[in-house]
Structure 1
Amino acid sequence: MTPSRTHATLQRLAAAASLFSGLVTATPALSASPVCSNEHFRTGELTLPSYDEAMAECVAQESALTHPERGAFAPLRSCHDTGAQGSHGPWRHGRIAVDVLERSSGDRYTFEGLWMCKPVAEATASTHRR
């Protein structure tokens, strides 16, 4: 194989790996999304959304941002988990992001949202403590 063919092959493999990675993290069936209880994390005036609520909000915002006629952005990577999930006592938390490209400037942006929830198994265990 010539150096240019090798380089082109490596680029195709990297693009395929990136696409597969994006599909795994963006597809709820393949990602490790928590099953949350109905309880919400509250601190002062702030109430954080559950995982499902944050994902639904991200999808709605993405649709508005990337609308073909009214949106100022083009889609790059749909709503996905970003970073590792963390924990705070019985609560799990994380970030959901969407990557877009501003149509007028070509600049890339990532918009993120936070979520926090008490997984169903942990919520049940905490209510049965004596």
Structure 2
Amino acid sequence: MLPGLKAGFTLDARLEADSEHLMWLGLCELRLMNDRRWPWLVLVPQRPGIEELHDLTPLDQAMLTFEANMVAQALKRTTGCAKINTGALGNIVRQLHVHVVARSEGDPGWPGPVWGHGLREPYRRGEARKFAETLRTAL
């Protein structure tokens, strides 16, 4: 079992394919979406069978809010973005996960949502690692 992984928890295959592990937080695994158009992070609570925020215990809800805020603040500091978008949609990937996306005027798709906008642009070799190190330092 990986460090931080909770017994009985399995990451959705689509999340695993579209993102890279950054670090373990208290409740969540923090992942980087492999799309260089936006600094885009995903928090995945390590609880089996959870699809909705209200499925979490009150303590886990508080912890998820704390971790999402911590990640959003670090992302804003490191990118200098104009706006942080935070969302938990789950229409395609049912497993509860929270997107935290840094947005700036003039980025692809501004001011619209990042979902469904154009084709994903994977990080070039080394770019994701460098960005991940910057975020780890900020956190």
TM-score normalised by structure 1 residue count: 0.30
Between structure 1 and structure 2, the one with the greater Rg is 1
Counting helix residues as a fraction of each chain, which structure ranks higher?
Answer: 1
Counting strand residues as a fraction of each chain, which structure ranks higher?
Answer: 1
TM-score normalised by structure 2 residue count: 0.29
